[in-house]
Structure 1
Amino acid sequence: MDVSDMTRSAIDNDGYAHQLVVENPLTWLKSQPNQHTLKLVIYAHGGLNNQDDSITRIRVLAPYFVVNGIYPLFLTWKTGAGETLTDIMQDWAKKVLPDNWLRSSGWLNELGETKDLALEALARVLGKGVWSEMRENAEEAAVSCVQNDRLLDLLARKLIILQENLNSTNTKLEIHCIGHSAGSILLGHLLERFIRDDLLAKAPPISTLTLYAAACSVRFAVEKFLPAADNALFSLSNLWLYYLSDDNEKADGLPTADVPMYGKSLLYLVSRALDDHPNMPILGMCRALDPKFNANKKQWAEEEMASLEIWQNRWGVLGSGNKLAIQISDPKVRITRANDQSAATHGSFDNNIDILTQTIERIMGHALPHPLEWLDY
Structure 2
Amino acid sequence: MVHDASVEGPSGLSTGQLDALRPYVVELQDGKFATTAELNTTAADVDAIFSTHLPAFIDARGGGPVPVVFWAHGGLVSEAAALAAARRNIPWWLANGIYPIQFVWHSGLWATLGDLIAACVAEMVAAPDAPRAVDLPWTNFTDGLIEGALRATGGPDVWRAMKDNARLGSEPGGGAAYVAGAVQIFMAARPGAATLHAAGFSAGANFHRHFVPAVVGRGGRPGPSFESCSLLVPALGTDAFKDGLEPLIGSGIKRLAMFGMKEELALADNCFGVYRKSVLYLVRGALDAEPDTPILGLQQCVRADRELARLFDPATGTADAVWSVETTGPLDSRSVATHHMAFDDDVPTMDSVARRIAGRDNIVSYGTTQHDGVLAAVRNAAR
Coarse TM-score class (shorter-chain normalised): 0.7 to 0.9
Aligned counterpart, 1:2: 27
Q: Which blocks of at least 5 consecutive residues in structure 1 are unaligned?
A: 295-307, 332-340
Alignment of 1:20-31 (within 5 A): 20-31=49-60
What CA distance in whole angstroms lies between the structure 1 residues aligned with 2:187 and 2:116?
A: 45
- Name the structure 2 match of 1:14: 43
Helix, strand or coil at the partner of 1:347: helix
Q: 2:206 aligns with which of 169, 172, 185?
A: 185
Alignment of 1:18-97 (within 5 A): 18-32=47-61, 34-97=62-125
| Structure 1 residue 195 displacement after superposition | 2.5
User: 1:83 deviation in Å?
Assistant: 1.6
Counterpart of 1:234? 253
SS of the aligned residue for 2:235 comes to: coil
Counterpart secondary structure, 2:290:
coil
- Identify unmatched segments of 5+ residues in structure 2: 1-25, 328-334, 372-383
| Deviation readout 1:46-66 (Å, 9 max, x if unpaired) | 111111111122221111110
- Give the Å deviation of 1:79: 4.4
Q: Offset at 1:342?
A: 9.3
Q: Which residue of 2 aligns with 1:297?
A: none
Q: Whole-Å Cα distance in 2 between the matches of residues 247 and 213 of structure 1?
A: 14
Deviations 1:216-245 (A, max 9, x none): 100001100133237x2123xx11111011
Q: Do the aligned partners of 1:182 and 1:215 also contact (CA within 8 Å) in 2?
A: yes
Q: Work out whether 1:312 is the aligned partner of 2:337.
A: no
Cα separation, 2, equivalents of 1:64 and 1:272: 37
Distance 2:347 2:289 in 1: 34
Question: Residue 343 and residue 365 in structure 1: after superposition, are their counterparts in 2 closer, same or farther (change >3 A)?
Answer: closer
TM-score (normalizing by structure 2): 0.78
Which residue, 116, 139, 143 being the options, matches 1:112? 139
Q: CA separation in 2, counterparts of 1:184 and 1:161? A: 24
Alpha-carbon separation, structure 2, partners of 1:371 and 1:363: 13
1:214-225 correspondence to structure 2 within 5 Å: 214-225=234-245
In structure 2, what is the equivalent of residue 303 of structure 1?
none
**Deviation per residue, 1:105-157 (Å, 9 max, x gap):** xx35x230111001101121221111101111211211113xxxx12211110
Q: Is the 8 A contact 2:92 2:369 kept in 1?
A: no
Change (3 A) 1:38 1:375: closer
The reply on whether 1:274 has 2:287 as its aligned counterpart is yes
When residues 41 and 355 of structure 1 are mapped into structure 2, their CA distance, relative to the original with a 3 A threshold, is same
Contact map agreement 1:191 1:228 (CA 8 A) in 2: no
The reply on whether 1:367 has 2:361 as its aligned counterpart is: yes
CA pair 312-38 structure 1, distance change in 2 beyond 3 A: same
Q: 5 Å matches for 1:293-308? A: 294=304, 308=305
Q: Percent identity?
A: 20
